[in-house]
Structure 1
């Protein structure tokens, strides 16, 4: 089973539990939700999430996704997973506290 990862603020994940799906601001502003592979995660944390409090790591099973997933080049030669729709909660197989 292929897994992808997403860093989220704890408050946004709590809201997702209330509404039944996860749809961060990037879905509205960019049209997709940013994900990474396990190998890409350290670079993502270094570039975007230094010293962010109350972060959680969502571990997502690709085969459970309802929205379209595309791997797209975000940096030269490196394709990142992007989800073009809200994240259905049953695709999340693990939630971990994450300290940056």
Structure 2
């Protein structure tokens, strides 16, 4: 499974038979995703203070488009690679939607619904 951070309202706009298509797909040609061990990295770098986020839990075998593990853009200083989805994500490929909020110390971590997998 891979994860994608998005606003709850953005996800709510996707129809039952629809697909999620964030601006990054048009801007850079792919959708930025993470794995269970790296979701906190972009969250802490880009989403501090946001209270409206969810984590989409995505089955890469169901997206129907290429998923490639690549370095970040820009590359992560520790050499971490991230999954990039090269097309819209069908709603049917999203197997879970999890609230994603900052902890009391101001950083993000996986929600309990994902932390013990």
After TM superposition, the score normalised by the length of structure 2 is 0.77
4+ residue runs over 3 A deviation = none
Q: Which has the higher strand share?
A: 1
Structure 1: distance between partners of 2:99 and 2:19: 19
Structure 2: distance between partners of 1:70 and 1:12: 24
Structure 2 residue aligned with 1:27: 25
What CA RMSD, in Å, does the superposition of the two structures yield over aligned residues?
1.4
Structure 1: distance between partners of 2:13 and 2:29: 19
Structure 1: distance between partners of 2:51 and 2:24: 19
Q: Closer, same or farther in 2 for the Cα pair 1:18/1:90, shift >3 Å?
A: closer
Structure whose alpha-carbon radius of gyration is higher = 2
Displacement after TM superposition at 1:18 (Å): 6.2
Structure 1: 5+ residue stretches without partners: none
Structure 1 residue aligned with 2:107: none
Displacement after TM superposition at 1:19 (Å): 6.9
Displacement after TM superposition at 1:12 (Å): 0.9
Q: Which one of 93, 96, 102 corresponds to residue 94 of structure 1?
A: 96
After TM superposition, the score normalised by the length of structure 1 is 0.90
